[in-house]
Amino acid sequence: MDNEKINPKNVILGKNVVIEEDVHIGQNVSIGHNTVLLKGTYIGDHVTIGANCVIGIKPSGNAKMRKTNGSLNHLQIHSNTRIGNLVSIYTCSEIFENVFIGDHASIRENTSIGSGSVIGRGAMIELNTQIGKNVTVQTLAYVTGDSIIEDNVFVGPCVSMSNDKYMGAQDYTLKGPHLKNGAKIGNNASLLPGVTVGTNAIIGAGSVVTKDIKENSIALGVPAKENPT
């Protein structure tokens, strides 16, 4: 796409930006040096994308890796979202309004991130994950595939989640954790496959969650045990 077509939309391009065909770019968008927007990507108004990003990646893999059947055909990034440097975002996902995505973050396919949410520096969001509104996923957190994070959840730095109960040793329907509205997960906590953390529950730093945690409770330790509030 040449600059003559972009400038009337008040788009600011860095050096060596690559924009493939069928990319929609809204008004007042800024795209940093060496960033690549791949085919079919939708960028809304007032979006900022940093340098050295790859946006709209088509997933690949080998016969052992599963594939997803996303409901979206292309990546959609809605208005007023800000994306840092060296970020990779895959296709068939939707990033809603006013989201902030920090440097080095990675967001896989068939993922949704609700409005007002923050994805921290170096965080990894795997495929088939739903993240609600006003969620904070802090630095270097790992959100495994097939997870559900409802609105107003806090996920601390270096939290780790898993979705394969048998670690590949036998067939298993992959299922990540389900964090309900307002749940808070402390630094370095680990959440095992399929656990549910209830509404407004708190998981202490370094805890290992092996079973469901009730709403409005506090759980601490290895394994995490509920304490009265």
Answer whether residue 110 is part of any domain. no
Task: Quote the radius of gyration of the chain (alpha carbons, Å).
Answer: 19
H or E segment and range at residue 149 = strand 148-149
Nearest partner of 77 among 126, 30, 24, judged by Cα: 24
pLDDT on residue 157: 98
* Residues 130 and 194 occupy one common structural domain: yes
Number of Cβ atoms within 10 Å of the Cβ of 117: 25
Answer whether residue 1 is part of any domain. no
* Residues 94 and 19 occupy one common structural domain: yes
* Residues 181 and 215 occupy one common structural domain: yes
pLDDT on residue 9: 67
Number of H helices, E strands in the chain: 1, 31
pLDDT on residue 170: 74
* Residues 45 and 86 occupy one common structural domain: yes
pLDDT on residue 3: 41
* Residues 96 and 128 occupy one common structural domain: no
Answer whether residue 151 is part of any domain. yes
Q: What is the CATH number of the domain that holds 39?
A: 2.160.10.10
* Residues 127 and 99 occupy one common structural domain: no
Q: What domain range includes position 78?
A: 11-57+70-103
Distance CA 80, CA 135 (A): 16
Its pTM stands at 0.91
pLDDT tens, per residue, the chain with 229 residues:
444 345 446 899 999 999 999 999 999 999 999 999 999 999 999 999 999 999 999 987 555 555 565 556 799 999 999 999 999 999 999 999 999 999 999 999 999 999 999 999 999 999 999 999 999 999 999 999 999 999 999 999 999 999 988 777 777 788 999 999 999 999 999 999 999 999 999 999 999 999 999 999 999 999 999 975 5
* Residues 26 and 87 occupy one common structural domain: yes
* Residues 166 and 75 occupy one common structural domain: no
* Residues 147 and 208 occupy one common structural domain: yes
In total, how many domains does the chain have?
2
* Residues 183 and 214 occupy one common structural domain: yes
Contact by Cβ (8 Å): 57, 23: no
* Residues 25 and 75 occupy one common structural domain: yes
Answer whether residue 82 is part of any domain. yes
Answer whether residue 228 is part of any domain. no
Nearest partner of 215 among 164, 188, 180, judged by Cα: 180
* Residues 176 and 145 occupy one common structural domain: yes
Helix segments in 111-198, DSSP class H: none
pLDDT on residue 171: 76
